[in-house]
Structures are given as structure tokens and as C-alpha cells.
Amino acid sequence: MKDKYAVIGNPINHSKSPLIHKMFAQQTGQDISYEAILSPLDGFAVTVERLRWKGYKGCNVTVPFKFEAFLLATNRSERAEASRVVNTLEFNGDEIFGDNTDGVGLVTDLKGNLNLKFSDKQVLLVGAGGAALGVLSPLLMETPRCLVISNRTMTKAEEAVKIFHYRVGKHPSNSTEFVAKSFSELTGENFDLVINATSAGLTDSALSLPTTLFAPGALAYDMMYGRETPFMKFAREHGAQVADGLGMLVEQAAESFNIWRGVRPDTAPVIEAMRKRP
Ligand code: ATR
């Protein structure tokens, strides 16, 4: 019998994860099934319980359940503890292991697929919700020259610096300047990498960012994928190279697949295949 996996979210019907994991399974010869499951907003724990009862081996978790998944896990990886959100669960008897592969997915896409070098780079992370917190710790571990976190609601960015500041001291050679700034405080500042981790693209809302944000050769990375967001358009119009989050999506999926199956798929052909799809 096939080992069963799923992705749980709400909404979930546009998820590309089943297709990605199907390609991984074919490529690595792993006999698994993987489906998308819609959970009621107030029924995440019950949905997970049902999967465990039916013998599923694990699941991915997406919006808006990543914090609930963190709370539900009975033991967690260090990176999940650091981010306080979980996108991967593995079921093992009474244990529910929680991990977060989003951050490593982003960093692998930036370094491996987009050839970005973090040393000496000035990095701006826009957003301070679950998506931003999930990638902060791995970004800090790359020791850029500075990491500025900026958010419409400034107190949340300041809170994130308080929570994650200890990560800077953890790396012996890490002298990253890690600060929170409001959108207006970004005026006159230049960044080599600007990551949009807000959900503004979902509602086609523009961010009120200064137009001078991008240093020459800067990369603007939107964690959303599937269509051009106002942030991508803004970045393109102001001289930045633009990347969407499809590479991150495939890389985080590969990391989850590796946790469950002990084999890491080759992501390049999967990213290429996903790009070609309408
Ligand atoms: P997610 O899990 O996708 O991160 P979230 O935790 O609700 O969702 O966080 C959404 C993020 O997008 C927040 O940083 C939010 O800013 P606020 O904290 O000020 O609400 C940001 N966001 C959403 N819509 C936005 C908009 N139109 N302009 C600026 N920021 C926006």
C-alpha cells in the first residue's frame, strides 16, 4: 500500500504541492500518494487527527494553520523552534514531529538557483507575519552585512527583532546589523536584496515603499508565485531584477520530501516543468 501524505490549508484548491510531490515521487521511484485537503478554519487539529487515524505518514501545512501546526507538534526541529511556525508534520506513533522547511527553501532558491551571495549584502525583509518569521532565522544564519525588517505595523517588526536577535550572536562570524525600520524610514536606503513576505499581493495591494530602494543590480524576491504582484511590478519599474516564489515552493517541498522519505529530489527539472505550466 502507498504511504499517504497531504497538504492542509484553507483555501487549498490552487495548491501546486500535489503536483510537485507527484513529480518528486516519479523521479525518485517512491511509491506515495499526496493530496490537497481543505480544513475548516476552526478544525485544523481534528483534520490532522483524522489523517493520523487513517494512517497518513505526514503532511504539509499552509496558510492559515502554520502556527497551530507548531503548537500541535509534540517535538520539533531547532529551526521550527526558532521560527515558531511549522509547515511539515511527520506522524510517528504517538509523536507528531514538526519542522519548518520554508526558510531553507528560500535560502536554497536564492543561493542555489539564483546564484545570490549573501556576504556584504544589504537585505530588506518586508513583512512581519508568519511568512516573514518563518524565514528570518535562516536568513540571519547567512550573515548578510545587514538585515532590515520592515512592516506596515512597526511594532510587529520591532517584536521580530527582539525575538530573533539571539540568532545573530549564535554564529561566530556573524556581525550582521539586524534592525527594524518603518516604511518611511527606508527613504534614502539601498538594498541588494528585497524580499516581500507580506500577503499584500493576495489582494493586489501595493506596498508604500520608497522608489529608491533598489541598489544597482538588486534582486527583488516575492514569496508569492503564479502572477505578477504589485511589488514585482514596482521593483521592475525601479530597476531591480525580479524573482517570484516558485523556486522557494519547490525547494521547501523537496526538503519536506527528504524528511519523510530520506531522499532529496533534483529540483531543477521540477521548477522548469512548473514554470512551463499555464
Ligand atoms: P502570513 O502568514 O502570510 O505572513 P500574516 O501573518 O497575516 O500572514 O501576515 C501578513 C503580513 O502582510 C503582515 O506583515 C501584514 O502587515 P501588518 O502586520 O501591518 O498587517 C502584511 N500586509 C498585508 N497586507 C498588506 C498591505 N496592503 N500593505 C502592507 N503590508 C501588508
pLDDT in tens, the chain (278 residues): 899 999 999 999 989 999 999 999 999 999 999 999 999 999 999 999 999 999 999 999 999 999 999 999 999 999 899 888 999 999 999 999 999 999 999 999 999 999 999 999 999 999 999 899 999 989 998 999 999 999 999 999 999 999 888 777 666 566 889 999 999 999 999 999 999 999 999 889 999 999 999 999 999 999 999 889 999 999 999 999 999 999 999 999 999 999 999 999 999 999 999 999 87
Q: What is the DSSP letter of 59?
A: E
| φ, ψ at 112 (rounded to 5°) | -80, -45
For ligand 1, atom 26, name the residue with the nearest CA.
200
Atom of ligand 1 at shortest range from CA of 64: 2
Residue 278's pLDDT is: 74
* Residue 94 CA, distance from chain mean position: 28
75-76 β-sheet, strand order:
32-38, 3-9, 58-61, 88-92, 95-99, 75-76
* pTM metric for this prediction: 0.94
Task: Give the residue, out of 125, 152, 154, 194, with the most ligand 1 atoms within 8 A of its beta carbon, to mutate for a pocket test.
Answer: 152
Residue 166's pLDDT is: 75
**Residue 2, CA atoms < 13 Å, CB-side half-sphere:** 12
| φ, ψ at 130 (rounded to 5°) | -60, -40
Residue 170's pLDDT is: 60
Q: Is residue 270 classed as helix, strand or coil in its secondary structure? A: helix
182 lines ligand 1 (CB under 6 A): no
Q: How far is the CA of 33 from the centre of ligand 1 (A)?
A: 33
Task: Give the residue, out of 199, 231, 249, with the most ligand 1 atoms within 8 A of its beta carbon, to mutate for a pocket test.
Answer: 199
Q: What is the DSSP letter of 3?
A: E
Answer yes or no: 121 catalytic. Answer: no
Residue 174's pLDDT is: 65
All cell numbers assigned to 106: 528560500
Residue 86's pLDDT is: 96
Cα gap 231→223, rounded to integer Å? 11
Catalytic residue, from 57, 66, 121, 181: name it.
66
129 lines ligand 1 (CB under 6 A): yes
Residue 75's pLDDT is: 98
Q: What is the DSSP letter of 243?
A: E
All cell numbers assigned to 36: 490537497
Q: How far is the CA of 44 from the centre of ligand 1 (A)?
A: 22
**Residue 189, CA atoms < 13 Å, CB-side half-sphere:** 21
**Nearest CA-CA partner of 79 in 47, 101, 51, 61:** 101
For ligand 1, atom 7, name the residue with the nearest CA.
129
Residue 1's pLDDT is: 86
Helix (H) or strand (E) holding 33: strand 32-38
Residue 226's pLDDT is: 87
Atom of ligand 1 at shortest range from CA of 202: 24
